[in-house]
A and B are shown apart, each in its own frame.
Chain A
Amino acid sequence: MSAATDLEPAVKASAASNRTGYRSFQLGSFQFSRDEYFVHVSWPAAGQTLTHTLSADAFLRAMMRDVAWGFFYGWVNLDEVIGTRNLYGQVQMYAGSYYPAYRDKGLSLTETFETPQIMATFKAILHDWTNAGFDPFAAPDETGKDWLGVKHGENGAVIERARQTCKRMPGLPGDSELRTDANGYPVNRAFTDVPQEQPQVHAEAGFEAEVHAFNLFAYLSRSDVTWNPSVTAVCGRSLCCPTTEEYILPIKHGNDRVEWFMQLTDQIDWVVEDKVTGTPRAKVRMKAGDVAAMPADIRHQGFSSKRSMLLVWENATPGLPEMYESGKLKPYPIEF
């Protein structure tokens, strides 16, 4: 491993491989490298070097969500072995820590990093390992096989797409924009049957900025990403974060708070596991109109055969992770 390059001051990266063209990266004690098909992660534990291999496309899709979500609420398991935990200001990277076969034998590793350091490293990995023509945010049907092979080009624009979050509601003056053909958001191929008509808004003079409505389903039909929520309504600390989903959620999200899902269209099947051990707990098959809580002590992964619309409903009250972790709050939202 060479000294840090000019990619980012905090990022430790090797020179590009003569054979594949890809750089290798180091974050604390973790090593990351890729070849034509696979990503290889290694870490030291119990006097040896442990290794883990993932398909490069799955790795890029997963890491893309972790970066886009700013490490999200709680745990982002890139797969069953490696992942991150958001400590809000710092982020833990782990390998095997939530996989009993490793953890119980002392073969896991968790290290804590300042958020800018791990963010810069992950972004550098994404930029270097994402080839031209591959979009980690897209469904497999929408992006090609350019994820594989030796390095060929880059696709920085798709990696740097900003998550769209409103302050109050999209379309209000000074708030996030609505999506249109003109600003680069055509209707997705799977939602051509979603009506695009906007609501009739009849505002009296002087109330144009308060009498407001928009077509949420049309807005979602124009999303250019999968499994990447936007924010479309803010009520105190409660955030409506709808998103469009197709194929498999590339990560397993471990909750540090209760979140709720409402299926707006079509169907998503959720696999729910224990957050710490990964043992199966339930499957939740959600169809249009269904509402379900995701408790604070689980990890979950969704499967959507057809591109669907999901309303993720979050509570952004500060201090929630500590309240759930201490037992002050129960991991489920209601008792009846």
Chain B
Amino acid sequence: MADVGNQQQFRTVFGSLNDYVKGDLEIINDNPKYYAFSNVFEVASKSRPYEKVVVALNLGYVLEAVRAEGTSPWYAASHDEFAIVMDGTVEVDLVKLTDPDAVAAPDKQGSVLVKGEPVGRKMGWIKAARGHQVLLPKGAAYRFRAASPGVLLLQTILGELSVQKWAEICYM
């Protein structure tokens, strides 16, 4: 922040794939691994498009950092998921599955790939930019489109597509 006359002017610092500064740990009497400290922009900068890299895990629930680039496969889940655009502009296509249980069984957790094109009615589409949160509703198939590289944060459940590589992504 800077003082201009009596009025402070604030500048909000966002991160991006091309411009991020990672924080750090100052260990006094602890194990740095306990903090599993990573940065979603750094993770996405080293990821393949739409690789779902787990950056937070809490008894099966996850936050995943995803590099959005080009068009993703179609995904679905037996539960709601949420995506926050952390960098770039991402479009999301949604299709209401005719038989959602056949794609993601009710006891199946996390995102699954939809084989081929999803069967069902078009629900619509969303164009989201940095800071926007998108509902990926249960029973729907969805895919992402990003004309240039961006970063998504997904709130979901650990699934067969989740990738854990803590030793590679964590500050130690």
Residues of B contacting A173 in the complex (Cβ-Cβ under 8 angstroms): none
Residue-wise interface mask of B (10-38) relative to A, using a CB-CB cutoff of 8 A (1 in contact, 0 not): 11111100001111111111111111111
With A and B bound together, what is the CA distance between A302 and B86 in angstroms? 23
Residues of A contacting B56 in the complex (Cβ-Cβ under 8 angstroms): 260, 262, 291, 293, 313, 333
Q: Are A216 and B41 closer than 8 Å at their CB atoms? A: no
| A210-B123, A216-B132, A285-B24 known; A266+B170 contact, CB < 8 A | no
| A193-B11, A290-B39, A292-B35 known; A238+B132 contact, CB < 8 A | no
Residues of B contacting A192 in the complex (Cβ-Cβ under 8 angstroms): 10
With A and B bound together, what is the CA distance between A267 and B20 in angstroms? 12
Say if the beta carbon of A307 comes within 8 Å of chain B: yes
Residues of B contacting A240 in the complex (Cβ-Cβ under 8 angstroms): 82, 155
Residues of B contacting A287 in the complex (Cβ-Cβ under 8 angstroms): 13, 15, 20-23, 39
Say if the beta carbon of A213 comes within 8 Å of chain B: yes
Say if the beta carbon of A214 comes within 8 Å of chain B: yes
Say if the beta carbon of A306 comes within 8 Å of chain B: yes
With A and B bound together, what is the CA distance between A119 and B98 in angstroms? 49
Query: In chain B, what residue has the closest Cβ to A210?
Result: B137
User: How many residues of A sit at the interface, in one of the four size bands?
Assistant: 35 or more
Say if the beta carbon of A237 comes within 8 Å of chain B: yes
Q: Are A199 and B23 closer than 8 Å at their CB atoms? A: no
Say if the beta carbon of A225 comes within 8 Å of chain B: no
Residues of B contacting A293 in the complex (Cβ-Cβ under 8 angstroms): 34-37, 56
Q: Are A211 and B124 closer than 8 Å at their CB atoms? A: yes
Q: Are A190 and B86 closer than 8 Å at their CB atoms? A: no
Query: In chain B, what residue has the closest Cβ to A309?
Result: B12
With A and B bound together, what is the CA distance between A289 and B122 in angstroms? 33
Residues of A contacting B163 in the complex (Cβ-Cβ under 8 angstroms): none
Q: Are A282 and B155 closer than 8 Å at their CB atoms? A: no
With A and B bound together, what is the CA distance between A2 and B23 in angstroms? 53
Query: In chain B, what residue has the closest Cβ to A305?
Result: B1
Q: Are A267 and B13 closer than 8 Å at their CB atoms? A: yes
Query: In chain B, what residue has the closest Cβ to A331?
Result: B34
Q: Are B81 and A235 closer than 8 Å at their CB atoms? A: yes
With A and B bound together, what is the CA distance between A216 and B128 in angstroms? 11
Query: Which residue from B10, B92, B123, B153 sits with its C-beta under 8 Å from A306?
Result: B10
Say if the beta carbon of B119 comes within 8 Å of chain A: no
- Taking the nearest CB of chain B, how far is it from the CB of A269, in angstroms? 8
Q: Are A289 and B29 closer than 8 Å at their CB atoms? A: no
User: How many residues of B sit at the interface, in one of the four size bands?
Assistant: 35 or more
Query: In chain B, what residue has the closest Cβ to A234?
Result: B80
Say if the beta carbon of B105 comes within 8 Å of chain A: no
Query: In chain A, what residue has the closest Cβ to B165?
Result: A336
Residues of B contacting A190 in the complex (Cβ-Cβ under 8 angstroms): 1, 10, 12
Residues of B contacting A191 in the complex (Cβ-Cβ under 8 angstroms): 10, 12
With A and B bound together, what is the CA distance between A315 and B61 in angstroms? 8
Known A281-B30, A287-B21, A333-B36; further 16 A-B contacts with Cβ < 8 A: A168-B135, A207-B94, A210-B123, A213-B126, A235-B155, A237-B61, A258-B58, A260-B56, A266-B13, A267-B23, A285-B23, A290-B38, A292-B36, A315-B59, A332-B34, A336-B33
What are 23 pairs between A and B in contact, CB < 8 Å? A199-B128, A207-B96, A210-B135, A211-B126, A214-B132, A215-B132, A216-B133, A217-B130, A233-B133, A260-B63, A262-B63, A265-B14, A280-B28, A280-B29, A282-B35, A283-B26, A288-B20, A289-B42, A289-B86, A292-B35, A315-B58, A332-B34, A334-B166
Taking Cβ atoms with an 8 Å cutoff, the residues of B that contact A are: 1, 8, 10-15, 20-42, 55-59, 61, 63, 65, 79-82, 84, 86, 92, 94, 96, 121-135, 137, 140, 153, 155-157, 164, 166-167, 170
The 4 closest A-B pairs by CB, nearest first: A217-B131, A288-B15, A289-B15, A238-B61
Taking Cβ atoms with an 8 Å cutoff, the residues of A that contact B are: 141, 168-169, 172, 189-195, 197-204, 207, 210-218, 232-238, 240, 258-260, 262-267, 272, 279-295, 305-307, 313, 315, 317, 320, 329, 331-336
